[in-house]
Amino acid sequence: MIDHAPLVLASGSPRRLALLEQIGVVPEHLFPAELDESPLPDEPPRVLAVRLAKRKAEVARERFLGEERKAPFVLAADTVVSVGRRVLPKAETEREARACLARLSGRSHRVNTAICLISPSGKIREKRVETRVKFKRLSKAEIDAYVASGEWKGKAGGYAIQGLAAVFVADLIGSHSSVIGLPLFETAALLAGEGYPLTRAWADGAAMQTVEA
């Protein structure tokens, strides 16, 4: 039984869950927040990411408290891929995936991931991480093969840097985990700064590994 406020992850993304688990954080609850993620008129990509992350956290907290539960930590994130001011979609069709890859081919693009943490007291803390990624020039055969893999489905910008698309990345300046969907350094700092027992599970995990070995 936990002796601290529970952690709610306002996402159903297996990638974000895996990233949290990588640093020893296992949310007690998953409350995906479904929103219209369309940019507002003239809304810059970095502003869009922050707005969506905050709203996801607020929606998840409202749902959780609506069930008359103990006030939680709520963590949300949103990742926006853009070329200039043009926001690329989370590709859902092959046509969208091909369009994204063609636009990214041989060019640099920006990946803005914003995180929002709402503490049990209701305090809101936010952080945005911008990473620059440069793709090699992609051949038609490479685009065809990647689209056939299906890895792009539901991914911002139509690719997954942690998967096959890693071979497309010629350069990266910033946070690799942020491109996947959750900047770990900044996430850990927000959690620890609000009193979440970030490192408490580390020793337990090490002990478990020792026993299993």
- pLDDT for 66: 87
Instruction: Report the alpha-carbon distance of residue 183 to residue 14 in Å, rounded.
Output: 15
Question: In sequence order, what are the residues at sequence separation of 6 or more whose Cβ sits closer than 8 angstroms to the Cβ of residue 88?
Answer: 81, 82, 100, 103, 104, 109, 156, 157, 158
Asked if 91 and 84 touch (Cβ cutoff 8 Å), the reply is no
Instruction: Name the burial class of residue 58, with classes exposed (0-12), middle (13-18) and buried (19+) by CB atoms within 10 angstroms of its CB.
Output: middle
Q: What pTM was estimated for this model as a whole?
A: 0.91
Spans of all domains in the chain: 7-212
Domain 7-212 listed as CATH 3.90.950.10: yes
* In the predicted structure, residue 200 carries a pLDDT above the cut 90: no
Cα distance between the two ends of the chain: 25
Name which residue leads in pLDDT, 4 or 158.
158
Residues identified as active-site: 78
Distance of CA 25 to the CA centre of its chain: 15
107-118: per-residue pLDDT in tens? Answer: 999 999 999 999
Q: Coil, strand, or helix at residue 109?
A: strand
